[in-house]
A and B are shown apart, each in its own frame.
Chain A
Amino acid sequence: MKMMSMGALAALSLGSSSCTQAQMEEFLQKRFREMTEAEKKEVIQRLEETYLRKYGKKFGISTQPAGSGVLWGYGLDLSRCIGCRRCVYACVKENNQSRINPQLQWIRVVRLKKGSLINLENAEHYYNPETVPEPGFMYMPVQCQHCENPPCVRVCPVKATWKEPDGIVVVDYNWCIGCRYCMAACPYKGRVFNWSEPNIPADELNTDVHYLGNRPRMKNVVEKCTFCVQRVRNGRYPACVEACPTGARKFGNLLDPSSEIRYLIENKRVFRLKEDLNTEPKFYYFFSA
C-alpha cells in the first residue's frame, strides 16, 4: 500500500517530464535511518554514480555508524583564539560547502570588545583588519554546539535531522524538505541553507565523504557542522582542530576519563554558550590564561 501510494505520487510529480531511473530512485528514497543495510548500499552506489556524472570524480561515500562508548565533545580556548578564520576555510574545504552565491560557512568567528562576552549584540561578524589579533578585542568562533537537547531536532516536522549515538547532530540531506524551522529554532546559528545549487570548483572537491556529513549537497536543503563525522569516526581530528595555528581547538571523547576534553572540563574553568536555554551543548569554551 505504502509503495503503491508512493509510486502514484512519483508518477504524478515526475510522470510528464522525462526522468532517469536514478532520479526516480532518488525521489522515492527512504529516510536514512529506515534503510536496511542492503538499501543503504544501493543508495550509496547510486549516489557515487551520480557524483561521478556530475563532477567527473570518483567519490568514496562512507556510512560508518557511531562507535560504542563514544560521545564527542569539543573544547575551545578563547584566550588563544586570534580570530584568523583558518578554521572557517579549512572547514569549507573539508566539508564541500558552496563557495559563492551562496557562500556557506559552518563556523562563524565573531569579534567582541573586551569586557563584554554574553551580549552578542555588539559582536562584529565581518571584521577585516590587516593583521589579527587586534588590541582590545577577543574572538569567539561559533559553530553547531551539538546539544544533548537540540531544539533543531525537536522542531523538524519530518525527522530529517537527529542526534547520533556518539552525540553528533546530523542531517539527511535527501529527506530534508527545506522548511527551515530548524534554523529558526537554533540559538547558535548552527545551521545554514543552500539557497541555490551549491557552487564548488570540481578540483577543490573533497571526495572522501560520509553520507551524513560532507557529501555534496543539493539546493534548498539545510546543512551544518558534523564535527567532521567522516574524520572523527576514523580516528582523525575535525579539520578545524587541525587547522588552528594556536592550538585553541580541542576535541575528544567525553566518556573517556583520560581524554584531553575531560581534562579540560575538570581542570579549566569552562562555560557553554547560552546555558540558560538548557540545550546542554557539548561544546565547551574556556580560558587557559
Chain B
Amino acid sequence: MLIALLSIFIVGLIAPGLYSVLREKTGWVLAILPFSVFIYFLTLFPAIADGEVITQSTDWVPLFDVTLSFYLDGLSMLFALLVTGIGTFIVLYGSGYLAGHEYIGRFFCTILLFMGSMLGVVLADNLITLFVFWELTSFTSYLLIGFSHDSAESRNSALQALLVTGIGGLALLAGLILMGYTAGTFEMSEILNSGDVLRESPLYLGILILILAGAFTKSAQFPFHFWLPGAMAAPTPVSAYLHSATMVKAGVYLLARVHPAMGDTDLWFYLVTGFGAATLLISAWLALCYTDMKQILAYTTVMVLATLTMLIGMGFPLAHQAAAVYILGHALYKASLFMVAGAIDHEAGTRDIAKLGGLRSLMPISAVAAALAALSMAGIAPFFGFIGKELLYEAALEAPMWSTLLISIAVLGNIAVVAAAGIVAIKPFYGPKVETPKHAHEAPLSMWIGPITLASLGVVFGSLPFLIDSSLIVPTASAIYGETLDFYLSLWHGINLPLILSVVTLLGGIAVYKIWTGLQSSTPAGLYSTTFHDGPKGGYQFLVDGMLSTAGWQTRVLQNGMLRYYVLTIVVTMAVAIGYTFMSRAGFAWNNELGSVELYEWTLFATIIASALIAVMVRSRLAIIVALGVIGFGLALIYLMYGAPDLAMTQVLVETLTVILVALVLVHMPPLKKSEAAGSKFRDAVIALTLGGIFTAMTLTAMTLPFDLFISEQFAEWSYPAAHGRNIVNVILVDFRALDTMGEVVVVAVAGLAVYALVKMNKKQSKNGGAES
C-alpha cells in the first residue's frame, strides 16, 4: 500500500514534466495510475469481503511513535476504491475539461497529490500519519480551489476553505494526540479495541469535541458548511472529485473510523446526530435557493454529508448499514452529476439553470448520465439511492431517541433533494431550447465516459445489490459499527412505513419541483439563504475582519515607530518584573557590618550624584560629557579608596580617553533640540529613578551575602609566578581572560571600520548622484 501511495505522489510531482512530453495524451496515460491502484485494491477485495483486515507498517519517526502503517478493512476499502476509481475518471475528465489550459500540467500534479493524500487518509492506521495526509488534503485542495487564481473570488474561496478546514485540522491534531496519550497507543487499530478506556477518561469530552471539530469542518457541517459552496470556484473536475466524492467525506470517514472507540455514548449521539440532523434540514433546502447547478449540487452534497453524520451518530447497526450504502450511492451519482454540470458549462458556456434548456438533443449522452444519476439521487427504485433512502428511513424510525423528529427531518430533507435532482437533470435538458453563450454539442469521450459509467453503476448496484452487499457494504458497516454484522440488501422490503414515506417524499419533491422557479426567486427563499448561508459566512468574515482590526490596532499601539516609547516600555517592564520579583521574593536587606561612612566619602558620593543629575539636566553636549567624566573619575576614586589601585588606574585611563574622544566628536555637532513637556519629563524621571532605585537596592542586598574571594585570591596568587605580571588587572585582561579582550578589540576595530565605511560611503554615493542601488 505504501508503494501504491508513493507512486501516486511521485507521478504527481513529475506530471507537469510528463505533460510537456505527452501533451494531450497525458490524461489517458496518467489515468492508468489510479486505475492500476484501483485494480490493486480489487485484488485485495476477496480477503476484505471475508472479513479480514490487512495491515502494513513501516517505521517513520519511532521517537514520536509515528509509523507509516496502513489498515485496510471494509471501510477503508470502500473509500480506497472510490478515491482511485472515481479518481481515474476525474483525471480523464480533467484532461478534456482543461484541454489547452495553461495550467493543465499543474492541474495533473495537484490532483494526483490530492488523490495520494486522500488515499493516505483513508488507509492510515497511525494517528499522526492520518493527520499528515489530512493536512495534505487541505493544502492540495487550497491550490485546487484557487486554480483560477486571477479572480479574487477564487482566492478568497480558497483561503476560506483553507482556514475553516485548517482550524479543524489543528483541533484534530490536538484531539488525536490526546487520544493517543489516553489510549496509550497511536495506532488506530489498537485504539479501536480500547474504546472503554477512552470513554471513561476524564478527557473524553475534550477529545470528542476536538475530533468532531476536525470532522465537522472538513465535512462542512453547520455552521461550517459555507466553505463548501464557496469551493465551487474550483474547476469542475476538482469539484466533482474533492467536493463530492472524496475530501469532504474525509470528515465522515473519520467519524465512522473512530465510532467504535468514541461512540456509544449519549454525548456522541447528541452531538453527532444533532449536528447532522440540523445540517441536513438546513442544507437540503438551501440547495433550492440557487440557480447555479454547482451551488445546488454543493448544497445537496452538504445534505448527504449531514445524513451520513446523523446516521453515524445514531450508533446502531441499521444506521451504519444505511451509512455504508449512502457513501457508495452518493459518490456514484454526485460525481456523475458534477461532471455533467461541468460538461454543460464547458460546452454551453453557462451552468445557470435559468439560462439553460433543451440540451437533450445536443448532448444526449450527458442527458442520459444525468437522468440515471438524478434518479438514484432522488431515491427511486430500482436505483441504488433508493436502497439508501429506505435504510435511512428505517434507521430514523428505529432511532433510540427523538425518532419522530429525526424521521421528519429526513423526509423533509429528502423532499428537497428530489426536487434538486429534478432541477439539475431535467431543467437543462428538457423544455424549450434556450440560446446559450456557446453553441452546445456533446462533450468529448474523456468527459462523458466517467459520468455514464458511474451513473450506470448506480442502477446496476440498485437492481442487483447482491453484487456488493456481503462483499463490500457488510464489511464497511461492520467497520463503522465495530462488530461484525450480518445482513443483505434488497430493493423490496414489502409495503411498510419507509416505503410509504418514500412515496410521500417523491410526491412532495415533485410538487416542490413544479413550483421551484417561483420558490427560488421568492422573498422567503432569499431570506432563508441570507440566514443560513450568508449568516455563517458573515460570521467567518466577522472573525477575520475582527482579527485584522485587532491586529492593526495592536500594532499601531505597540509598534508605534517612536523609539522613546519603545525604551519607555522596556524600562517599565524591567522595573515591574525585576522590582516586583525582588520586593516579593527577596526584600531589601542592609548589611549592618558595613563601616560607617566618613565625610570625604559622603562628599564623593554627593559629587557623583550631582554630576549624574547635571548630565541629564543640561542641554550642552560638552557639559554632559564633562559631567559623565566626573562620574567616571569619581568611580576611580572609589576603587582607589577600597583597595583596587590597578582598577583605578585602568578606569582613569579609559575615562580620560573617552571624555577626550567623545568631546572631540561632539563639539562639532549641533546643540540638542529643546526637550519635551514638563509632564513627560517628570514621568521619565520617576521611571528612571525607580529602576535605578531597584538596582541600587538589589546591589545593597547582595552586599549582605558573604563574598566569595576564591577566584580573586587565586588570580592574585598566580599573577606574578604563573602569568608573569604584577598588575593583576593587566594580567586578567591579557591572560586569564584574554578571550574577552580579544572580543573587545574586535568590537573597537569594527567600530572604527564602521565610522570609516559610513563616512566614505556617503561621500562616494553623493559623488555618484546619491541614490544607491
- Bound pair (A, B): no
Chain B interface (Cβ within 8 Å of chain A)? Answer: none
A interface residue numbers (CB < 8 A to B)? none
